[in-house]
Amino acid sequence: MRLRPYTTVIPKPLVPIGDRYSILEIVMLQLAQCGFKRATLAIGHLGHLIRAYVATVRSGPRSRLRRGALAARTVGPALMVLENLPDHFLLMNGDILTDMNYADLLKFHIESDAPLTVATNERVHQVDFGVLDIQDGRITSSPRSHRSPTP
């Protein structure tokens, strides 16, 4: 929704960043720089454009496409090809940009022996207006209660 009207004609992963690269191309180049050789792309909305992109661009890992049900969102298409995935893999959105080293993330995951690792980023979001907490149609706290005490 945030990128409309662009995403009515271009899938978010193909939205250009600057004059040279799309989001997907940046992600694929990052994966290649981190040593990844293969990528499975779940395509849905305007997937034919991503298919055309993958057919013409040779940068990044070797890609295969998997049409996913729109309702399944991110994890659904991965579950459909789970038997074809390696024991350890990254599952990510194709429209997220980060400077994270994907190889380091995968290495951390493997060494932790966890069943699942989630990469997150803490972000402080400053709101210039009041924030109301509402429960059952009633205000339970107001901007005054959200302020830090002054020394």
What pLDDT score was predicted for residue 70? 46
CATH class for the region spanning 6-112? alpha beta
Domain assignments of the chain as residue spans, ordered by start: 6-112
Q: What is the pTM of this model?
A: 0.71
The segments of the chain whose pLDDT lies below 50 read 70-71, 145-146, 149, 151
Distance CA(123)–CA(79), nearest Å, equals 30
Q: What is the pLDDT of residue 121?
A: 82
Q: Which two tokens stand for residue 133?
A: 């907490």
Q: How crowded is residue 30: how many other Cβ atoms within 10 Å of its Cβ?
A: 18
Report phi then psi at 67, rounded to 5. -70, 125
Indicate the helix (H) or strand (E) that contains 138: strand 138-141
pLDDT at 30: 92
Pairing of strands 133-135, 62-67: unpaired
